[in-house]
Every structure is written in C-alpha cells, then in structure tokens.
Amino acid sequence: MLTNILAAAGAAATPQNKFGFAEALEQGGFIAYATVIILGIMSFGSFYILFTKFVEQQKIMNQVRNVRANFWRSNTLREGANKLDKNSAFRQLVDDGLAAEEQHGKMTDSMEAHDWLHGSLARSEASINAKLAGGLPFLATVGATAPFIGLFGTVVGIYRALIAIGIAGSASIDKVAGPVGEALIMTALGLLVAVPAVLAYNWLQARNKRIAEHLNSFSTDILANINSKGAVRPAIITSPAKGAAPTAAARPAAPPVAPKQ
C-alpha cells in the first residue's frame, strides 16, 4: 500500500512534457492540423509520383537496350516491330511510321510525303514524351509551394506566441515555448516536403531528356528507313565477349592497299 502511494506521488511530481509534436498541434488547433494534413498529402503524392515515374522510365530504358540488340537485325520494320512489346514506346513509333507510310502514297508531291511522315513520327514522339512528363508539374508545384505552406503555419505560431505574451504581460518561457515550437515545426515540415519534391523533379526531368534523345534518334532512323525503302538503316554495333574477336558488323573496314609500282 505504501509502495503504491509513493509511486503515485513520484508520478505526480514528474513534470509532464507540454512541448512535444502532438502538444504543439493541439495548441495550434485547426490551422496546425490542416497545415500538417496538406503537407502530408503533398509528401505522399510526391513519393508516389517518384516511384511510379521511375518504374515507367525504367521500362523504356530496358526497351532501348532491346531495340539496340534486336530491332535493326530484322529484314523489315514490320518484322522488327513484332519483336517489341505491344506496349513499347518504340513499337508505337514503328506502328505510327508504318501507318503514315501507307497513307503517304496519296500525296502527289514527294516533299509533302516526306513532311507527312516526319510530322506523323513527331506527333507520336510528342505523345510519348507528354505521357512521361505526366505528374512532374505536381512535383514542381509541391517544391514551390510547400515552404510557403509551412511558413503560413510559422506565422500563425508566432502570432499565437505574441498573443500569449500580451495576455501574460511578460515573455516567460512557458508562455512562448509552445507557439514558437509549433512555428519551428511547421517550417521544418515545409522544407521536409519541398526538398525531396524538387530533387525528384530534377532527377526525373533529366531522365526524361535522355529518353527523349533515344526516341528522337530512333524516330530519325525510322524516317530514313521508310524514305529509302529499307536501304538506309543504322549500323549495328555488337558487343563481343571478353577476349573474343570483334564480329564483322563491329570490325571497321580495312583501308584499301595501294598497288606497288
């Protein structure tokens, strides 16, 4: 019995922490909770877009290796397209190019036919790039606005600290610590949400530029192949095994030897 009384007295004597994160939100009321919820939604959306766009980009990166290894070894574009996945971005370019080739015979001018093919491939390429860019404006918006949302919570916290000082008539630490702590937490949360969003945006944007370069190069090769009736195609460079001699496709042609006089 005596032990229980002493334990209860000790617990009562222990000071309670009134300046934790939950306590700061409780003191901040509706505005603090709303700010944290908005920042949480922004953070979740940013990481969701980061992972989904990374998976989407990685699929196209793998398709680039597949195109380099197999596509141009085919005799025709249709045969090469059948080696690609149906949902492949490069398969879309080939299919759109072949569809434009079937229609360009209706053009009476050869220059118009070339422009039609070029425009069709450019539209297909633009649609793929637009799909890859989906979600990036959200990251840019989060990176630009999250610090200001946190700053809004900071301003409200400082305002509450000033009110507490005015009511108490003195700037005692117990009156100021809670609101000022809330203000600092909101600032930190705003930065914590904004910085990953900005980093993710720049990283995904750089990867999209590399993918766009691969798509543009492949589109140019498709256009040249169609206009030349299959005569023009990029050189196939194989990667020989370590220690093995280069294949005929990879070995450069030897310069002609001039006959002796």
The model's confidence at residue 4, banded by pLDDT at 50, 70 and 90, is low
DSSP alpha helices (H): ranges in the chain? 2-13, 21-70, 77-82, 89-104, 110-132, 136-168, 173-227
Instruction: Return all residues near 24 (Cβ < 8 A) that are at least 6 apart.
Output: 32, 178, 181, 182, 185
Instruction: Give yes or no for a contact between 125 and 90, defined as CB atoms under 8 angstroms apart.
Output: no
Separation CA 39–CA 123 (nearest Å): 37
pLDDT tens digits, one per residue of 41-50: 999 999 999 9
| Rounded Cα–Cα distance for residues 206 and 45 (Å) | 20
> For residues 218 and 93, is the Cβ–Cβ distance under 8 A?
yes
pLDDT of 254: 40
Query: pLDDT tens digits, residue range 41-100?
Result: 999 999 999 999 999 999 888 888 878 778 888 888 888 888 888 888 888 888 888 888
Mean pLDDT of 143-157: 86
pLDDT band, residue 14 (cuts 50/70/90): very low
